[in-house]
Amino acid sequence: MTRLDFMQGNVASAEGAIAAGCRFFGGYPITPSTEIAERMAARLPRVGGTFIQMEDEIASIAAVIGASWTGMKAMTATSGPGFSLMLENLGFAVMTETPLVVVDIQRGGPSTGQPTMSSQGDMLQCRYGSHGDIATIALAPASVQEMYDLTVKAFNLAERFRCPAFVMADEIVGHMRERIEIPGSVEVAKRRPLEPGRLPFAAGPDLVPGFPSFGRGYRVHVTGLTHDERGYPATNDEAVHAALVERLVTKVESSRREIADYEVMNPDADVVIVCYGAPARTVLQLAAEQAGPPVGVLRFRVVWPFPEHALGEFPNAEAFIVPEQNMGQLAREIERHTSLPVVPVPKLGGDLHTPGELARVVEEVRRR
Amino acid sequence: MLAAVILGRAAVMYDGKYAVQTQVYGPEARGGASMAAVVIDTVPILYPKVSDPDLLVIMSQEGFEKYGAGARRDARMLVDSGLVLSRPGCPYLEVPATDDARTVLKKVIVANIVMLGALVEATGVVSREAIERAVLDSVPKGTEELNLGALRQGYIRGGEAFHEAA
């Protein structure tokens, strides 16, 4: 039985996390994400979970990694300044193949920037912020309903691929309240245990090893150093390092079609708007009310790994228009995958593009 | 802010409509200027922001200058007559919400609920039943009668006639 509610996006994300089986939250409050921590603090003790407010974001993500290694589903929520602090340990989570979820309610940056204003300025930070080569899983909700649904999905993807998964939301979607239908139950991915007789970091054909939770009969060495299949450091072995990093990247990148989640409207259109997150709401409004030839819409719910094949859904496309609440972070990625013109429409300061602003860009692009 | 949340809740939960509520506020914990907006529709709402409201509720002079002074001429506005000195270029209703909360309800904190009652009575934007149930969902235990009293005081004020544009 679904349940109707009028709920804030941040609260919906917390509820989605609990439905997905999250039983540990370690965090440090930061606007505009704080309502997620507040909701988890109220809810987790009632479902047998643990909420802990740490001394800062570095400790928060460390606590989440530790909780995940005990077999728990664990998360944190933050915004840009906190996300920056978490980066070192997020690289550690990638290297140690630790499933966890980070919800980033993006605000204007750089630095402490605009605490109460919306942005999509962390889209490249989540992809490339860690040193070394990594692959990233990042989702981008555009409604309160998707704050719930995509938080559930992030937990499932984190389990499936044994890596961090990011819900890259923004202040608008995080703080907006709207109608939501909460499902009676959701599909929940279970953590796959280590198969008996296998080494802890030896992967099968899907490149994802089973998980040897602490306290379940295993003594496992977990290190951020380059490690062999036993988990022990092998830092000077070129072949071990190359094979490990290639596997960590390939396990995600080779599954981009499985992970991909996007919406296509008007596939025959000549001009296509590519969008994700809150700006998608403007794009959908424009597509619904626009007179004249229809504009194509490609809306990503998953941004990383970048679903490059989706650009091919528009065989008649002559240009891609990319409105973002940043200076063109995903536009640059799109340019890598098409020979067609890519027109970024940056918007800084916190407000949404208006439908009129985007309509003018569509007209200009058509005149070219 | 709370009044806007309650209004959206009333529309979605008890009038069977769609609603989106957004807000603008600063980093201050208390005392900063804030604005909340609600879109209500019978179909799903795409663009969630309010660019040109047709109903405005203004409860501070600063709020009037920022959001009320430029109101559309065919908009309708409710002003807290004890807090807002200016009058708009659109039809307006003077609602002494804060004064009523202080003198009639003896709790100035329910001024927003008085205003909500006036808004519902004057515009029918949601039903009386919906707003009453949404208020009861949203207020602390033990304050139900106080808040319903505030709504009823608002209904009285909302039944008065709008003034012509200033």
Prediction ipTM score: 0.93
Interface of B with A in 104-123 (CB under 8 A): none
pLDDT > 90 fraction of chain A, expressed in percent and rounded: 97
pLDDT > 70 fraction of chain A, expressed in percent and rounded: 100
For chain B, how many structural domains are there in total? 1
Map residue B161 onto helix, strand or coil: coil
Is 70 exceeded by the pLDDT of residue B30? no
Smallest Cα distance from A207 to chain B, Å: 40
The mean pLDDT value for A90-118 works out to 97
B5 close to A (CB below 8 A)? yes
CATH number of the domain encompassing residue B34: 3.40.920.10
- List chain A domain ranges: 1-259, 262-367
Is 90 exceeded by the pLDDT of residue A2? yes
Query: Which residue does chain A place closest to B17, by CA atoms?
Result: A179
State the DSSP code for B42: S
The mean pLDDT value for B151-164 works out to 97
A172 close to B (CB below 8 A)? yes
State pTM to two decimals: 0.96
- pLDDT score for A218: 84
B124 close to A (CB below 8 A)? no
* A1-259: in CATH 3.40.50.300: no
The mean pLDDT value for B3-30 works out to 91
- pLDDT score for A217: 83
> Cα Rg for chain A, rounded, in angstroms?
21
B165 occurs within a structural domain: no
Judge contact between B12 and A6, C-beta under 8 A: yes
Is the Cβ pair A179, B9 closer than 8 Å?
no
Is 80 exceeded by the pLDDT of residue A278? yes
Is the Cβ pair B13, A5 closer than 8 Å?
yes
CA–CA separation, A228 vs A71, rounded Å? 22
Averaged pLDDT of chain A: 97
Judge contact between A180 and B44, C-beta under 8 A: no
Is 80 exceeded by the pLDDT of residue B27? no
Instruction: For B37, list phi and psi in degrees, rounded to 5.
Output: -130, 145
Closest-CA residue to A229 (of A265, A266, A194):
A194
Is 90 exceeded by the pLDDT of residue A126? yes
The mean pLDDT value for A35-51 works out to 98
Query: Which residue does chain A place closest to B134, by CA atoms?
Result: A6
- Structure-token match 């990383």, residue found: A304
CA–CA separation, A163 vs A146, rounded Å? 21
Cβ-Cβ pairs closer than 8 A, A with B, add up to 59
Interface test with B, best of A6, A176, A297 (most B CBs within 10 A): A6
Candidates B8, B26, B47; nearest CB to A177: B8
- pLDDT score for A145: 98
The mean pLDDT value for A200-205 works out to 95
Map residue B71 onto helix, strand or coil: coil
CA–CA separation, B105 vs B91, rounded Å? 28
Closest-CA residue to B87 (of B67, B64, B66):
B64
Tell me the three-class secondary structure of chain A, residue by residue.
CCEEEEEEHHHHHHHHHHHCCEEEEEECCCCCCHHHHHHHHHHHHHHCCEEEECCCHHHHHHHHHHHHHCCCEEEEEECHHHHHHHHHHHHHHHHCCCCEEEEEEEEECCCCCEEEEECCCCHHHHHHCCCCCCCCEEECCCCHHHHHHHHHHHHHHHHHHCCEEEEEEEHHHHHCEEEEEECCCCCCCCCCECCCCCCCCCCCCCCCCCECCECCCECCCCCCCCECCCCCECCCCHHHHHHHHHHHHHHHHCCHHHHCCEEEECCCCCEEEEEECCHHHHHHHHHHHCCCCCCEEEEECEEECCCHHHHHHCCCCCEEEEEECCCCHHHHHHHHCCCCCEEEEECCCCCCCCHHHHHHHHHHHHHC
The mean pLDDT value for A266-294 works out to 96
Map residue B35 onto helix, strand or coil: strand
Candidates B19, B27, B45; nearest CB to A6: B19
Is the Cβ pair A288, B18 closer than 8 Å?
no
A354 close to B (CB below 8 A)? yes
* A262-367: in CATH 3.40.50.920: yes
CA–CA separation, A278 vs A171, rounded Å? 9
B45 close to A (CB below 8 A)? yes
- pLDDT score for B115: 98
B164 occurs within a structural domain: no
The mean pLDDT value for A105-130 works out to 97
The mean pLDDT value for A330-358 works out to 97
CA–CA separation, A90 vs A341, rounded Å? 35
The amino acid occupying position B14 is Y
Is 70 exceeded by the pLDDT of residue B28? no
Question: Contacts of residue A116 in chain B, CB cutoff 8 Å?
Answer: 24-27
Interface test with B, best of A10, A34, A172, A179 (most B CBs within 10 A): A179
State pLDDT tens for residues B60-95. 999 999 999 999 999 999 999 999 999 999 999 999
Q: Count CA within 13 A, CB hemisphere, residue A79.
A: 31
Name the residue with higher pLDDT: B31 or A18: A18
Is 90 exceeded by the pLDDT of residue B56? yes
The mean pLDDT value for B153-163 works out to 97
Is the Cβ pair A176, B46 closer than 8 Å?
no
B124 occurs within a structural domain: yes
pLDDT confidence tier of residue B101, bands split at 50, 70 and 90? very high
- pLDDT score for B24: 86
Burial B70-101, CB ≥16 within 10 A → b, else e: ebeeebbbbbbbbbbeebbebbbbbbbbbbbb
B163 occurs within a structural domain: no
B60 occurs within a structural domain: yes
The domain of B15 spans 2-158
Is 90 exceeded by the pLDDT of residue B25? no
Judge contact between B79 and B87, C-beta under 8 A: yes
- pLDDT score for B29: 60
- pLDDT score for A11: 98
- Structure-token match 């989570």, residue found: A93
Is the Cβ pair B25, A116 closer than 8 Å?
yes
Candidates A115, A281, A288; nearest CB to B48: A281
The mean pLDDT value for A204-216 works out to 93
Candidates A6, A31, A285; nearest CB to B46: A285
- pLDDT score for B51: 84
